[in-house]
Structure 1
Amino acid sequence: MIVEQSNLKSLQDNINKPAIISKDEIEQFIGIVILMSCVKLPSTRMYWSKHVGQSEVYETMTCNRFEVIKKNLHFNNNDKFKPRGADGHDKLFKIRTLLDQVRERLLLVPKDEYLSVDEQIIPTKCRHEIKQSNPAKPHKWGYKNLVLSGVSGFSYDFDIFAGDQSNSYPSDAPDLGVSFNVVTRLASTVPKHKNYKICFDNWFNSPKLQVYLFKSGLLSLGTVRLNPVPNSNMPVEKDLKKKGRGSMTEKTAIIDGVKLSLVSWYDNKVVNMLSAYVGSEPKTTKRRYFRREKQFKYVTSPQAVDVYNQHMGGVDLLDSMLGYYRIHLRSRQWYKRIFFHMVDMSLVNACLLWRRIKENDEYMPLFAFKLRHMRNICVRQERF
């Protein structure tokens, strides 16, 4: 797919000088950018330098050829693009075929029992309508990617947010709202009535969503804002603070035949948890430091908080692994930033699968895994 579309793009740009890119060259190009993510130099051309260049790079491909492939790298036929306002317009058209193929492969992998839904930012400063600004994130500018992840950080599914066109939901699900529909879309690929559990934060959570997931055969848990919870009458933070750290209140209600548990727990601040399968019991204890008394003490903790903390961090773990050796190859084409993110994410997923299969063998860090994969592509000597 990439080979055909890249060659077509070069013909559309200059019919008298086609690039004629082969499959092997595309693979070698990907191998080179993987190496560039691990061994960072100030500029791309330095990898072909006589003094600081990398032999795996200049022995594989010339710099001019590398830049020709980078320029013509393409993933869809521009002649089929439908302009804004026309039926079938897709803001992600230029990268859609690649995204669909990556998702097809991810959906073949068996899922963990505990899953989490969260957002991540694909950092970029390219000019495009789907780019968003979020000052609270480490990367202030980028594309919002909504991810269904396991506890290990494996990405089982994803959905790049593209504004109004992303406000879709499965045919058998109600329209719960923009943020809640994200969970119903990603959860639609999870096997039903198989004891799968999904965690998410308060941006996604609501009683209506919990009821729908439970009736669909999925158990859910998440932090929640009290605004979408009708008649909750939970104590305010000031009242819980008077009782001290570890104080909590739990209320249950049956909504449309589904029993929901709402727990408010005070630690440094109030945390509200809503779940269809876990509440405050059995309670546990956590070690906390009290500044005024200058000593450690144990405070009571509800079970919902413990389960949430244990299984919610999959997407954050994925982000941290992506951030170690992210591909930073610059380009004016906005969709190439997403392509490089897909390469990074696929390598992280492959590394996590490798660790799962070779659990009893020697541990392989992500850096070594990426270099070994690069040599397998470029040099074609190392095999897994």
Structure 2
Amino acid sequence: MGLIKKATISEYWNRKHSSQSTPWFRKVFTRNRFQLLLKFLHLVDNRKIAPRNSPSYDPTAKFKPIVDHFNLKAKKHYSPSQNLSIDESLIGTKSRTVLRQYIPTKHAKFGVKLWMLTEAVTGYCFHFNVYKGKRYDPTPAGELQGSYVVISLLRAACLLNKWYHVFCDSFFTSLSLAKRLLNLHTYTTGTVRSNRPLPNLIKSVKLRASQSMFMRQQEILVCAFKEKEKRKNVKMLSTRYNAELVVNRKPKMITEYNKFMGGVDLNDMLTSFYEDGRKSTKMWKKIVFNIIHRMVINAYILYQQNSDNAKSRLHFIQLLIDDLSEDHMTRNRVNIGVLNDEINNQNLRKLPERKEKDCCICSVRNVPGGRKRSKHICVLCHKGVHKMCYKKHSRRCHADE
């Protein structure tokens, strides 16, 4: 990309792949204009943001409007199915910021952590919060962070007291969370860590391969299961399923957990497919681009569920770009057409036969490859000039007069 001087992206592609068919995308604006727009991109007025030493300082202030917009629109246009998934996601970055977290199980390892609530089957992101760290996002005293995150997400998404079923991993799941959600008319299923409160019999039980043990306390069912001899026992709890074994004598709650737990991972995978990963010195811009990609994923899921002949995701992105740029392209075509007509009729004259002159605007002879020739000349000064360069040339020409 650094070798492109003033050519557009589409022109560069056409030169590089001239033997292939014409690419789907069109010239919207030049690379230089794109970089200029990217340079001055802002979501808020920096003068209105509290300084870092202020008690009201918010490290997410620069991109908070797009987070609020995303959560508002996600709830407005979609009602999820019963099975939900809650997990953490990571937007990879090594920028120096208080938002940066280290999660060794994630691909990026370092980045900004999101608490995400998604639909289990489709990966539709229904609500998410940006984790600001212990200093700016503390957990209430006497409460586990995982439980606090689950209740906060469900309350912000307005999904409590509707008998939704939440699947979460061992970081979030606990007996206290299961009881609280049950009182709020919400089911939960998830793995449980050994250091969390559990019946002693479940903690210390010794099982053989494909063997399981169940214990129930009212609506809460706790299970211990060992899949193979060399593996540790898996401990789970559920407020929805019964002590039932299915294929390979595996508890039903485990098979359902494996089926519906991956909603957040599915959303991350879909995001990584077409994310450009554009480098930026501004950490918040990388987060904004990632959120925009997740918006497109949500839009594609809605498109799939409301279309009988849904196209591929790539085709959907192409249609989306075409639609968003249509107004700009229409105005641009009209303006260029009017300009060319005026230039052709009044101010430019075409040279006879195959004669050409150096363009007085864009041609530079002392630079390798910098000489640009035109078949048109200005009727006033008789200098060579391209049609697209005439507007700049006319100012000089009239100034000389």
Please give the TM-score of this superposition, normalised by the length of structure 2.
0.72
Q: Say whether 1:333 aligns with 2:300.
A: no
Find the aligned partners of 1:355 and 1:278 in 2 and give their Cα distance.
31
Residue pair 1:262, 1:279 contacting (<8 A) in 2 also: no
Structure 1 gap ranges (5+): 1-40, 286-298
User: Which residues of structure 2 form unaligned runs of 5+?
Assistant: 330-401
Q: Deviations over 1:167-214 (max 9, x none)?
A: 357xxxx96222221111111124333221101000111111111111
Whether the 8 Å contact between 2:59 and 2:132 is mirrored in structure 1 is yes
Amino acid at match of 1:154: Y
Matched, 1:160 2:130: yes
Structure-1-length-normalised TM-score: 0.75
Please give the alpha-carbon distance, in whole angstroms, between the structure 1 residues aligned to 2:23 and 2:315: 17
Q: Secondary structure at the match of 1:107?
A: helix
**1:273 aligned partner:** 236
1:23 corresponds to:
none
For the residue of structure 1 that corresponds to 2:105, the secondary structure is: coil
- Is the CA contact (8 Å cut-off) linking 1:176 and 1:208 kept in structure 2? no
**1:263 aligned onto 2:230:** no
1:253 to 209, 213, 217: 217
The structural deviation recorded for 1:145 is 1.1
The aligned counterpart of 2:261 is 312
Distance 1:157 1:197 in 2: 16
Once residues 142 and 3 of structure 2 are traced to their aligned partners in structure 1, the CA distance between those partners, rounded to angstroms, is: 48
Aligned amino acid, residue 47 of structure 2: D
CA 1:114/1:336 → structure 2, altered by over 3 Å: closer, same or farther? Answer: same
Does 2:144 match 1:177? Answer: yes
1:335-374 equivalent positions in 2, closer than 5 A:
335-358=284-307, 361-374=308-321
**Aligned equivalents of 2:291, 2:165: Cα separation in 1:** 26
Paired with 2:278 and 2:153, the residues of 1 have a C-alpha distance of: 30
Pairwise CA distance, 1:327: 2.6
Distance, in Å, in 1 between the alignment partners of 2:64 and 2:263 is: 25
Partner of 1:92: 60
* Higher relative contact order structure (alpha carbons within 8 Å, sequence separation ≥ 6): 1
Aligned residue among 160, 163, 166 for 1:195: 163
After superposition, what is the alpha-carbon deviation per residue over 1:255-302, rounded to whole angstroms, capped at 9, x for unaligned? xxxx32110111133211112222422x211xxxxxxxxxxxxx2011
Contact (CA 8 Å) 1:113, 1:197: kept in 2 or not? yes
Alignment check: 8 A CA contact 1:250 1:279 kept? no
C-alpha separation in 2, matches of 1:157 and 1:142: 19
Summarize the Cα distance change of 1:310–1:381 in structure 2 as closer, same or farther, 3 Å threshold.
farther
Q: Which has the larger radius of gyration?
A: 2
Instruction: Give aligned pairs, total.
Output: 314
Aligned amino acid, residue 243 of structure 2: S
The structure-2 alpha-carbon separation of the partners of 1:217 and 1:235, relative to structure 1 and needing over 3 Å to count, comes to: closer
Find the aligned partners of 2:204 and 2:305 in 1 and give their Cα distance.
45
2:250 aligned to 301, 316, 321, which one? 301
